[in-house]
Structures are given as structure tokens and as C-alpha cells.
Structure 1
Amino acid sequence: MNSELLGIISTYVLTLVIAIPLGKYLAKVFAGEKVWTDFLKPLERGIFSLSGVNPKEQMNWKQHMKALLTINSVWLVYGFFVLIYQDKLPLNPDGNPGMTPDLSFNTIISFVVNCNLQHYSGETGVSYLTQHFVLMFLHFTSAATGIASAVVVFKAFRDKSTVSLGNFWEYFIKAITRLLLPLALIVALILAFNGSPASYAGKDRLISLQGDTVNVSRGPAAQLIAIKHLGTNGGGYFGANSAHPLENPNYITNMTEAVSQMIIPMAMIIAFGFFIRRKKLAWSIFGVMTLGMFLLLALSLSSEIGGNPEIAKMGITQSAGSMEGKEVRFGAAATAYWSTITTIVSTGSVNGMHDSAMALTGLWQMLGMMINSFFGGCGVGILNYFIYLIVAVFISGLMVGRTPEFLGHKVEAREIKIAALVTLLSPFLIMAGTALAAFVNVNYADAEWAVKPANWLNNPGFHGFSEMLYEMTSANANNGSGFEGLGDNNVFWNVSTGVVLFFGRFLPIIGPIAIAGLLAQKKYIPESAGTLRVDTVTFSAMTLVIIIVLNALSYFPALVLGPIAEYFTMIK
């Protein structure tokens, strides 16, 4: 167990070592300063020329949102029809069938919004063409969309007062050419040299030691696995995701994939500080996020390393911790670390089955997704945290009797209303969605559009409720992981989570950008002795308290009905 703990410590330290210089590099890239990747400028100019885009044309926040929503709508329509007709298209050596309209609706929305919730099994549900030219393509574009959105907010606070927030297309293309593609190439090579398939060959037929014939799926897996983690996408090439031996062959690839999914969310916080020239503020944000991450990690490690209390009642020693649903090549500690980072950064990949985790581990996984701002996804993590910052500024201003200000701009009624709506959106989508699922599961389980002849819960009671709550939470947080005891490939879950995916992605992006755009155009107020400082330890603690209180008030009753009740049932 000591070696396992050393493994996760090494993984985190390596992540930090890469993320800090990467953040400084990103600040220079998006500020237009000279960097070593400037040799890619001709490629970028070619893309802009073919697209008819002037990357130097300045946009306000509304124009940024128009560009973002327009291009995402195009991808949604394109992918929807490819998924339906993939059986009639080339690069399908295994003869995988086309998707039903409801499954295609869920899948394409999921990948467009960077969630990658999969109600199908990767190797049998989609063809090589779809894996490569729809899903992998969206891994890049959805991550770049989030990064470009964050840079818009960066730009709003770089200048004292402005309506010019840069060009969305420039930020978007640079996020791919200067960041995602180079890193994905490196990670894909590491995976390929360690055993992940990277070809377009069909299934390989093997004879096992028992004499059974086994068909093993192959394909361009290493390429997709690399960007699925770097872009905090998480959609698995194989159904078992990164618990699959070809998707995550050994501890080297496990560390590589764990580092990959954290470096860009971390680096974006560092980039924020260097970009707006307020490094102390960035480090204070980084500190709150790190503390939140460590709290969830410590609690998850305690649950998993401590073992299953039901087994302990029988007097059986669990020196390796709780190993149900985990890969022996990784162990309980590495799986707990992975489950923590994959839920706080909205990656949603798994190297062990979350449905088999201890009840309290499931609680911390869900809470990480509900908070959704301890680093968060590529770009959108800092946008989610920005909403908490605005709420904290408003409450702090009221407490000291001053007009709330953030970085020299007055926070007034309009901005607070937007922040309040975004804050209330997630609890509404999660709670309403789970309540509807519970109602439908009880009353309409035998309906034609549900699962026949039984309902979709393989685990009734508290754990069954947790499965439904987790699914809606994962969809809202653009995470994509699941308690896979849930039978989710049916019309209800495909449509309901598809709707949650859409609103849970775009409104929390539009809200922070609208607030930043509105604040940026206001008159700048120089700091004085009475200015509320947002880069102090006191304000950081205040922000953390706001995060804890808001999420406790929003989600505690639902969590009591699920993982908390299950835990007390186990230890009774």
C-alpha cells in the first residue's frame, strides 16, 4: 500500500511540474507573444484563409457566443446523421450497426458538449470512421471551445475597460494547433509503444489457454485515448474505458493518462494569472481548488483503502483495500486517485468501475461533479469558479457595507442575477431530472420506450437511487462517467440526459462570459485602501465556504437518499 500511495504522489507531482510551465506558455500564446510554436503560423493562416476568417477582427462577448453556438450547431447536425448511417459508410470492418435516432441524439450532443456520456459500448457501438472523424474530431473541438471561452474571460480583465475581447476563431484554432495537437501526439506515442492499438485493422481472433476463440477489437485507439484525456473528454474507445487492458495497458500508461487529464485544467489557472498580470490571484484560486481536490481525494482514499465493511464483518483481512471493480494492475489507491481527478475535472474516464466503489466514494465522486469547479474541464473549470467568485464578492461586499467590486469593476444587479441563475441551474437540472427518472422508473417501467420486461435498475433501494442521481449529475457536469448498473440505452435516458447535457454545457459558458463582458465595458475603478482584495487568504477562504454552503444546501437531501443512506446501511 505504501508503494501505491507513492505512485499517486508521484503522479500528482509530475502533473504539477508540467502544468506550471504549460500555463506560462499558454498565457503567451493567447496574448500573441512570441513562443517556440510560432512555426505553426503558416498553417493557421492557411486555415483562416480557407475559412474566410479574419483572426484580427475584434469581437464583443455577444459575437463570441454567436460564433461558438453556430459552429457547435453545425457539428451537432453533421455527427447526428453520420452516427445513424455509419453502417452504410466505409471504415467499418467489424460491421457495427447504425445508431437509433434517440441514441444518436444523446451521443452527438454528449460529444459536442465535451461530456462523452456513452449509452453504447465503444468497440461495438461505433465504426472506425465514426470513432476517428466524428468522436475524435469532437474531442479536439469541444476542448478548444472551452479553452477559447475561458480566454474571452481572460481578455475581459486584462484591459481596464474594453468591449473588444479578441477573436473567438483565433483562440479556438490556437487551442488546437498550439496545445491539443502537439500534446496528443506525444501521449498517443507513449500509449502506442506500451501496447494500445493504433491501426485500422479489424478484430483479431485469438485462441485462449482454455481453447476458447476470442475476438479482440482493435482500431485507432491510442489516438483517441490521448485526446480524450487531454481534452477532459473521457469517452472510451472500448466499453470498459481505461479499465480495458488495451486502453490502459500498464502503470506507465495509467500515470500518463492521469497526468494528461489534469495538466490543462491546472495550466489554465496559471495562464489566467500571467495573462491578466495578477499572479497572486491565480495562485489563490489554485490554492482553493487544490485544497478542495485534496479533501475529496483523502476521503476517497480512506474509503477504498479501508476495505468493504461487509467483508470486514466476516473477519476477512483486506490488506489491498476494496478491490471489487478494480484492476489488480492499478490497485485501490490509484483507482481512488483516478476517480477523484476524473470527476473534478469533468473527464469522466474510469480505470475501475464507479458502481463498485464504496458508498462514500460514490458520494465524493458525485460531490466533485456537483461542485464542478475544482479545476474543472478544459477552460470551463475556471468559468464555473468565476461564478462562485462573483457570488463571494457580492456577499463579502454586503458584509462590509461596500459596493461589490471585482478587479476594478462594480458588480451590480445585472451581473448578480446572471450568477444566481447559473448557480441555480445545476441543482434544478440534477434534482428535477433525478425526480423524473425515479417517478418514471416506478410507474412506467414496462412502457414501450423503457426497458422491458423489467425496469432499468439492476440495484434497487438506495444504490439504485444513487445510480439515477449519478447519471443526471454526470450529464449536467459534462462528465460522462456512470454507475453502470443502470440500463441507460433507452428513449427516456437518451432524451432526458441529452437535454440536461445541452443546458448544463452552454448556459454555464454563456453566463460567465456575459458577466465578464458586462464588467469589462464598465468604467475602471482604481484600487484604494477600501477596495475588497480578492487575492487574499481571507477571501479565498470565503470563496471556499461559499462553494461548500451552496452545494450543501442544494444537494445534501438527495445525497442522503443515496450514498449516505447506503453507507449507514452497510455499517449497521
Structure 2
Amino acid sequence: GFGPVQPDQAWNTAVSFVTNTNWQSYSGESTMGHLVQMAGLAVQNFTSAAVGVAVAVALVRGFARSKTDQLGNFWVDLTRICVRILLPVAVIGATLLIVGGAVQNLSAGTDVTTLAGATQHITGGPVASQEVIKELGTNGGGFYNANSAHPFENPTSWTNWIELFLILLIPFTLPRVFGRMVGDRRQGLAIAGIMAILAIGSVIALNALQLHGAGTVPTAVGAATEGTEARFGVSNSATFAAVTTLTSTGAVNSFHDSYTALGGMITMLNMMLGEVAPGGTGSGLYGMLILAVITVFVAGLMVGRTPEYLGKKIGAREIKFASLYLLTTPALVLVGTAVAMASKQARSSMLNTGAHGLSEVLYAFTSASNNNGSAFAGISVNTEFYNTALGLCMLLGRFLPIIFILGLAGSLARQQPVPETTGTLKTYQPLFVGMVVGV
């Protein structure tokens, strides 16, 4: 019974869900019918997440295999990831959310009388089933406009922690897969350690900044409560904000635009790191492995020897792929923000001017280019300019890096392994972990 979606918004939404970004320039409960939410958006939540894992596994095979041009079968990988990992976990997770109070029906909605005596239409739908894969697949697109702050999506504090667990589950277990596939468990633990150091630092920093927010009102109430959902409180909101921006999820249970200045900066910093701590499903692992490759290259320059990682030489070809990967999203963020600020049409969408207005535009392009999907709001993004520009950033920010990852994987797989010597950098020791964190 909803009206048609305009072409530019349809393009933006399709690109958004295909690229695992799940940026939304619409209110789900008043724009998309149940069939679109299920057969269109929720299906892409599964497949886009599986694509990320499949690409990560292809890169790991590049390290694990030698003298071959075979990186596996994409269709087989995609099917196995969906059927053996995503679907079983999603069924269990959705059941838990329903037990917690999340809505799961095909209702056309209910008209209720509010406390003020007015009438409000409350939309029902297959919410829990979309909510669970939204988090598990680090997607982020909500059934409702309020996303995970909505009681039908995230009813209680314990469902909030289940959602946090689902977001972190696959990104933090893939390093173990990496260690097993390359035949050295220590390598996987090192990558997981790097992710954990950055993630824990971000969670602590964001909690500290929000719990001790400066200003008259935050000081009076003891924390920066603006924009937070009362059912969760400041700490649960800050932790969720850190996790969702560290993992390319984009789901929110509070309003990032209302955070303190430095708190909002942390959410942007998380995305600008490349979302590798632990990052999205698959994309976090291959992003972190790119940083590991660059780290051994820097280390090789410092000691004057050919850099190696997992028995593979990191030469000019490999470092070009890694550099192109690393430069893609910053270029998209900077160019997109510059064009938006130079465009009179784009500036007319801004509700705030000055430094915070710039931050809102910068956040939008950072979120889209890094395939996160969360927003600072404060700008009306359902316009031809923003739907088109952010859609392009999402598309290029997802698939250009994947091309470079697969190029690197193929280059590594063709190599003959180099035997380890006394001069080889031990890439599983604390020294290497610290170097990658620094890089």
C-alpha cells in the first residue's frame, strides 16, 4: 500500500544493500512493503555478507597456495557460507530476538491510541528475521527508521548485547580461519590481537567521552545523554556506536549526530581506519591483511631486505595492489565531500552550517565509501545529488578494493614459497602486532 520509490532512491537502496553498506535515505516502515524487505533487502543481507567472506578466503588461499592460478570457486564458497554459517546462526539468533520481544509477523499494522489521545499506525512485519542478519552480516539496514533503537527491533538490554555479539561474531572468528588455512595458528592470533587492541581502545575512548561529556547539562546529569535511548543508557549506546563503526555494520541504537564533539570524532575515526578492527564480515580480515603486507614492506625497507609475509615475497606488484586498496576509500571520501561542499544543490540540503555541518557531510561520504551505512544526519540525503553521489561511493568503495584484493591474491598464489631464515620477520610476535597497530 505504499507509494513507488523514486528512481534515484531505488538506485541508492539497491546499491546500498548489494554492497553491504545498507545506507538508508528512507524510513523503512513507511516506504518498503514486507516483500521488498524480505525478498529484496534481507536476501542481500545474506549474499553481500557472504561475498565479503568469500573474497577474504580467496586472499588467504593466495597466501596458503603456491605455483597456481586457482583461488577456489566463488559460487561454491558463496553457497557454503550462506547455508553452513549465516542461515543456521541467523535462525538461532532470530529465535532469541523473538523470545526477547522482537516482532515477527506479516501484519499490515495496528492502529493504536496514544497517551495524548491521538491515533498512530504501528507497522508490524518480519522484523526479527531481518534484524538478526542485519547484525550477523555486518549490514546495518533497519526495518524501522529508528533502527536498533526501535523496541520492535531491539526490545531490551540483553537483546542489545546479543546484537553486539552477532556483529562481532564472524569478524573476530575469521582470523582463526586464517591461521588454520595458512597452517600456523599463531598468525591468526596475531591478527585477532591487532583487531582487539584497536577495538578495545575505541570502546574505552567513546565510553569515556560520552560518560564525562563537557557542558552544563551533561555535567548536571552525569553524562552526555542526548540522542541515547533511555532503555539502554549512555554506556550501552556508546559501546554499540563503537562496535557498529568498527565493523562496517552501520546499525545504531542512538543518534551519533548528538554525540559530544570528540565522541562523534571517534565514530568517524573508526570508519576512517578502514573498518579493520575487526571490520565487516570478510572485509575486516582482508583489510587487516593489507595492513600486514604494508607493515612487512615498511619493515623490509628499514632493515634493507626483501619483505616477506607467510613465505611470500612482497614485491612491486604486490605493494601496488595493497597501495591501491588503501588509497581508494580516502580518495572517494575526500572527492565526494569536496564536490558536495562545492555544489549549491548539495549545500541546500544541509540543516547545519559551519564545522558541524561539514562534519555531517564528511561523515556521510566516510560512511558510504567505507560501506558502513550509519549517519550523522543533519542533512537531507533523499535528493538526486546525495542518492546518486553516495550510491557511486558505495559501489566504488566496495568493488574496487575487491578487485585489488583478488589481484593481490592471484599474484601471491603464483609464487614459489620462500623458506624462513633467521632474518625473517616473525609475524606472530608482539613486535609485529605493535608495528601493524602503528601502521
Using the size of structure 1 for normalisation, the TM-score is 0.75
Partner in structure 1 of residue 58 of structure 2: 152
Query: 1:381 maps to which residue?
Result: 284
Q: Distance in 2 between matches of 1:524 and 1:272?
A: 17
Distance in 1 of aligned mates of 2:366 and 2:255: 17
| 1:477-516 matched pairs, under 5 angstroms | 477-516=370-409
**Which residue is equivalent to 2:308?**
405
Deviation at 1:404, TM superposition (A): 1.1
Tell me the amino acid that sits aligned with residue 298 of structure 2.
I
Task: Name the SS for the 2:111 alignment partner.
Answer: strand
- Of 138, 146, 158, 1:240 maps to 146
Pairing 1:178–2:84 present: yes
Q: Which amino acid aligns with 1:529?
A: T
Q: Secondary structure at the match of 1:467?
A: helix
For 2:202, the aligned partner's letter is L
Residues 133-158 of structure 1 show CA distances to partners (whole Å, capped at 9, x for unaligned) of: 00000000000111111111222222
The answer on 1:421 being equivalent to 2:327 is no
Distance between the aligned counterparts of 2:321 and 2:416, measured in 1? 20
Question: What residue in structure 2 maps to residue 119 of structure 1?
Answer: 25
Residue 437 of structure 2: which of 528, 544, 552 is its match?
544
| Alignment partners' CA distance in 1, 2:116 and 2:321 | 62
1:439 maps to 342
> Residue in 2 aligned with 1:332?
234
Residues 38, 130 of structure 2: 8 Å contact kept:
yes
1:281–1:534 Cα contact (<8 Å) kept: yes
1:468 paired with 2:370, answer no
The alignment partner of 2:101 has SS state of coil
Whole-Å separation in 2 of the counterparts to 1:351 and 1:255: 11
- Deviation string, structure 1 residues 434-475 (Cα, Å, up to 9, x no partner): 1111111xxx24xxxx68xxx211221111111000000000
Between 131-140 and 211-220, the greater mean CA deviation after superposition:
211-220
2:131 to 225, 238, 246: 225
Describe the SS at the equivalent of 2:221. Answer: coil
CA distance in 1, matches of 2:292, 2:403: 16
Please tell me the residue identity of whatever aligns with 1:159: R
**For the residues of structure 2 that align with 1:503 and 1:388, how far apart are their CA atoms?**
20
Task: Give the CA deviation at 1:161.
Answer: 3.8
> 1:327, 1:272 → 2: CA distance?
38
| Structure 2 residue aligned with 1:293 | 199
TM-fit CA distance, 1:310: 4.2
Q: 2:154, 2:194 → 1: CA distance?
A: 31
Find the aligned partners of 1:409 and 1:184 in 2 and give their Cα distance: 37
In structure 1, give the amino acid aligned to 2:437: L
2:255 paired residue number: 353
Name the SS for the 2:120 alignment partner: strand
Structure 2: distance between partners of 1:310 and 1:428:
39
Displacement of 1:347 in angstroms is 0.4
Contact 2:211–2:235 (CA<8 Å) still a contact in 1?
A: yes
Q: Report the Cα distance in structure 2 between the residues aligned to 1:250 and 1:464, rounded to whole angstroms.
A: 33
| CA drift at 1:170 | 1.2
Q: AA paired with 2:92?
A: I
Deviation at 1:209, TM superposition (A): 2.9
Which residue matches 1:8? none
Task: Provide the residue aligned with 2:212 in structure 1.
Answer: 306
The answer for unaligned runs of 5 or more in structure 1 is: 1-94, 547-572
Q: CA deviation at 1:411?
A: 1.1
Whether contact under 8 Å (2:63, 2:312) holds in the other structure is: no
Question: Helix, strand or coil for the counterpart of 2:408?
Answer: helix
Q: 1:129-278 maps to which residues of 2 (within 5 A)?
A: 129-278=35-184
* In 1: Cα distance, 2:308 partner to 2:397 partner: 28
Aligned to 1:393: 296
Structure 1 residue 307 displacement after superposition:
2.8
Between stretches 114-123 and 423-432, larger displacement belongs to 423-432
- Please point out which of 34, 59, 63 is paired with 1:128: 34
> Does the C-alpha gap of structure 1 residues 437 and 429 become closer, same or farther in structure 2, counting only changes over 3 Å?
same
Higher relative contact order (CA 8 A, sep 6+): 2
Q: What letter matches 1:523 in structure 2?
A: Q
CA–CA distance in structure 2, aligned partners of residues 380 and 269 of structure 1: 12
Mapped to 2, the partners of 1:309 and 1:190 lie a distance apart of: 40
Q: Verify the 8 A CA contact 1:307 1:318 in the aligned structure 2.
A: no
Q: Percent identity?
A: 40
CA distance in 2, matches of 1:108, 1:429: 19
State the distance in 2 between where 1:302 and 1:456 align: 33
Counterpart-to-counterpart distance in 1, 2:30 and 2:183:
49
1:308 CA displacement: 4.0
Q: Which runs of 5+ in 2 are unaligned?
A: none
Contact 1:386 1:512 in 2 (8 A): no
Residue of structure 1 aligned with 2:413, choices 502, 507, 520: 520
1:160, CA displacement in angstroms? 4.1
Which residue of 343, 361, 370 maps to 2:245? Answer: 343
CA deviation string 1:501-537 (max 9, x = no partner): 0111012222122112201111111111122222121
Larger Rg: 1
Contact 1:206 1:216 in 2 (8 A): yes
Determine if contact 1:415/1:515 at 8 Å carries over to the other structure.
Answer: yes
Q: Encode CA deviations 1:101-132: one digit per residue, 9 max, x unaligned.
A: 11111110010000000000111121111100
* Amino acid of the structure 2 residue aligned with 1:153: L
Distance, in Å, in 2 between the alignment partners of 1:132 and 1:224 is 7
Among 350, 353, 358, which residue is 1:457 paired with? 350
Q: Counterparts of 1:292 and 1:419 in 2: how far apart (Å)? A: 21
Match of 2:333 in 1: 430
Please say if residues 141 and 373 of structure 2, whose CA atoms lie closer than 8 Å, have aligned partners that are also in contact.
Answer: yes
The answer to whether the Cα contact below 8 Å between 1:383 and 1:509 also exists between their aligned partners in 2 is no
Q: What is the distance in 1 between the residues matched to 2:55 and 2:248?
A: 16
SS at match of 1:317: helix
Residue 199 of structure 1 aligns to a residue whose secondary structure is coil
Q: What one-letter code is carried by the residue in structure 2 that aligns with 1:99?
A: V
